[in-house]
Structures are given as structure tokens and as C-alpha cells.
């Protein structure tokens, strides 16, 4: 269960960071045996200079990219599965180009970035990886034809350039990244949205009974930050008009996040009538739905929950 929680966080987190720069598709299905790409990113035609704010992650997404984040260390079989997804996407693009009688440009084929919290020397050696000039330590490239790199997050240097990737690490790596995130200026464009996603992760972890030590430490690390953030929000919200706007923005953000999670949970977009009912929920009800949706198996479970709230 906790792995699913972290998977959902990683997809929401990457989508939140990358959506200003292009099209982001999470849990994107590909042909053949049913497989899902965690995050498929296509940059906007007009490049956005602000992409450099994302540091190393921004470099990954200058061109089409497949991002496959792992909570636990990726195994060789899992990396091979990711490569297979990339090859299937490439084959689909080639078929489409042939059908439309156009030449497939090399720059239109995504590159695969496997984001793993750790990677052993034995695993890296098994793929015969190499480190390229101009790239930071921790980024290991396979042969050029495979268009793939394994990113060992624990090997990345502790610099602002790697912050947005280290948020997806584990243990002390992730904890340190969260400390750096909280120290960013209040007006940083990604600080508050990222903190809200991290706080949502904290809430989803707290309802689980069997937590790993890393998760317990993460909750403990986030607790004082969460309380400080909420206290500051209360102080900033003394002016009634500002507070109302803040609450409306927070509520709308929670609505969008939960709708994305539900679409991913069911593997399809939920009906417009259900979306309308979700947008009519209070903040307290939205928080309750965020905790409960992990137990939903079919859309009928969501409908039953909404009916219970209305009753």
C-alpha cells in the first residue's frame, strides 16, 4: 500500500513541476501487452527559459522524455521493463511516421530516465553504463541507441541543481531535500505547490498501519514543517479577503489533485457529473476523500462514498 502512495506522489509531483513546460501524461498506456508509462512528457514547441529552475530535471525534459520513478531500488528486470516501454513507444512513432509518409526525427523519440533512489555498482555494471562529460555524478547512460539513463538519486551531489530529483529519494537524501525545499524563498514558483504535495503524502502515509522506517522518519521530519506552514498561513490570513482567496485556491488545488488520483486509480477519466459532485465538497470532505480513495476498486465505490456524504 505504501508503495502505491509513493508512486502516486511521484506522478503528481512530476506532473505539477512539468505542466508549465509541455504536455504531461501520467500512467499512459501503450500498445501490446498492457503496460503503463509513469510519466510521458512532450515539451512545448516554444521552449520556456524558466525550465532551468528545475535544474537537472529541467535538462531531462528539454526534449521528449519518459520518466520512471521508483520508490525502492530498481532491479535489473524493472529497468529492462522500462526499456521495453521505450522501444514500444519508438515502434509506435515509427509506424505513425510511415503511415503519414514523414521522416521520424531523432529528436521526437523520447529519452528514458529511470529514477531510482539507489543503484548498486553490480547493477550499474550489468548494464555497462558510462558517465558522460558535462553531466553530474549519479547519471549513468546506457549505449546511445538505447536512449536510456539510470539516475541513482543517492549519488547526486547535494546542490540546488539536483533538489527536485532528490525529493524523490529515500531516507536521509529525501529528508535533506525537504529541508532545502522549506528554506527556499516564499515566492519561489514551485515551493508551495511541492510542499502541499509532500503534506498530502504525509497524510496518506499516516493512515497506513505497517510503515517502513523511512516512512516513519519522513512523517516525523514533515510534522514540524507542516505545523510551521499552517501557523504562517493563519497569520497571513488575518485579513479576511486574503484568507478567503487562499482557502478557495487551496480547495481548488485539492479538487484537481484528487480528480487526477481518481482518474489514475480507475484507469479512465471519471464522469463529468462525478467531477461536479467532487467540486461541491468542503475542504474537510476533500481531505476525507483523499484518504479513502486508496481503498476504491471501481467507480461504484466512489459513487457510494459521495452518496454517503450527501445523506
- CB proximity list for 43: less than 8 A, separation 6 or greater: 21, 22, 61, 62, 63, 64
Confidence band, pLDDT 50/70/90 cuts, at residue 241: very low
Query: Which of 3, 11, 45 shows the shortest CA–CA distance to 28?
Result: 11
Query: Which of 89, 148, 90 shows the shortest CA–CA distance to 114?
Result: 148
Phi then psi dihedrals of residue 212, to 5 deg: -75, 160
Confidence band, pLDDT 50/70/90 cuts, at residue 47: low
The CA distance from 5 to 261, in Å, is 10
The CA distance from 284 to 288, in Å, is 6
Q: Where are the alpha helices (DSSP H) in the chain?
A: 2-18, 55-60, 76-99, 121-126, 163-166, 171-182, 191-206, 213-236, 240-266, 272-279, 283-292, 299-310
With contact defined as beta carbons under 8 Å apart, do 150 and 116 qualify?
yes
DSSP for 221-261 reads HHHHHHHHHHHHHHHHTTSHHHHHHHHHHHHHHHHHHHHHH
The CA distance from 128 to 67, in Å, is 21
Q: What is the pLDDT of residue 244?
A: 46
- Residue 138 grid cell: 549519479
Least confident of 22-26, 188-192, 257-261: 257-261
pLDDT at 34 over 90: no
Secondary structure of residue 310 in the 3-state scheme: helix
Entry pTM: 0.75
- Residue 15 grid cell: 506532473
Q: Across residues 196-223, what is the average pLDDT?
A: 80
Q: What is the pLDDT of residue 235?
A: 65
Q: At CB < 8 A and 24+ separation, what contacts does 35-38 make?
A: 35/81, 35/84, 35/85, 35/88, 37/66, 37/68, 37/85, 37/89, 38/7, 38/10, 38/11, 38/14, 38/66, 38/67, 38/68, 38/69
Confidence band, pLDDT 50/70/90 cuts, at residue 236: low
Please report, rounded to a whole number, the percentage of residues in the chain having pLDDT higher than 90. 43
pLDDT at 242 over 50: no
The CA distance from 159 to 178, in Å, is 13
pLDDT digits (tens, 9 = 90+) for 143-169: 999 999 999 999 999 999 999 999 999
139-141 and 22-30 as β-strands: parallel, antiparallel, unpaired? Answer: unpaired
148-152 and 139-141 as β-strands: parallel, antiparallel, unpaired? Answer: antiparallel
Amino acid at each position: 500500500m505504501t508503495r502505491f502512495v509513493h508512486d502516486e506522489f511521484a506522478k503528481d509531483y512530476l506532473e505539477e513541476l512539468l505542466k508549465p513546460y509541455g504536455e504531461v501524461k501520467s500512467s499512459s498506456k501503450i500498445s501490446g501487452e498492457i503496460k503503463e508509462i509513469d510519466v510521458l512528457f512532450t515539451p512545448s514547441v516554444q521552449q520556456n527559459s524558466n525550465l532551468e529552475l528545475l535544474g537537472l530535471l529541467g535538462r531531462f525534459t528539454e526534449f521528449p522524455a519518459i520518466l520512471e520513478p521508483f520508490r525502492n531500488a530498481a532491479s535489473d528486470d524493472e529497468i529492462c521493463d522500462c526499456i521495453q516501454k521505450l522501444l514500444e513507444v519508438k515502434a509506435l512513432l515509427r509506424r505513425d511516421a510511415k503511415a503519414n509518409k514523414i521522416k521520424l526525427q531523432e529528436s521526437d523519440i523520447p529519452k528514458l530516465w529511470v529514477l531510482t533512489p539507489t543503484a548498486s555498482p553490480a547493477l550499474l555494471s550489468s548494464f555497462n553504463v558510462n558517465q558522460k562529460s558535462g553531466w553530474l555524478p549519479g547519471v549513468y547512460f546506457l549505449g546511445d541507441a538505447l536512449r536510456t539513463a539510470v539516475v541513482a538519486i543517492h549519488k547526486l551531489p547535494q546542490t540546488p541543481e539536483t533538489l527536485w530529483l532528490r525529493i524523490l529519494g529515500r531516507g536521509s537524501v529525501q529528508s535533506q531535500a525537504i529541508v532545502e525545499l522549506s528554506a527556499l524563498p516564499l515566492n519561489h514558483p514551485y515551493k508551495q505547490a511541492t510542499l502541499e504535495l509532500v503534506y498530502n503524502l504525509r497524510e496518506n502515509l499516516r493512515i497506513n498501519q505497517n510503515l517502513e522506517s523511512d516512512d516513519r522518519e519522513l512523517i516525523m521530519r514533515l510534522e514540524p514543517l507542516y505545523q510551521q506552514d499552517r501557523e504562517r498561513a493563519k497569520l497571513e490570513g488575518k485579513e479576511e479577503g486574503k484568507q478567503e482567496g487562499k482557502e478557495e485556491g487551496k480547495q481548488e488545488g485539492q479538487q484537481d489533485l484528487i480528480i487526477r488520483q481518481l482518474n489514475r486509480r480507475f484507469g479512465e477519466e471519471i464522469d463529468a457529473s462525478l467531477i461536479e459532485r467532487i467540486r461541491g465538497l468542503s475542504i474537510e470532505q476533500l481531505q476525507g476523500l483523499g484518504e479513502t480513495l486508496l481503498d476504491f476498486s471501481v467507480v461504484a465505490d466512489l459513487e457510494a462514498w459521495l452518496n454517503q456524504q450527501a445523506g
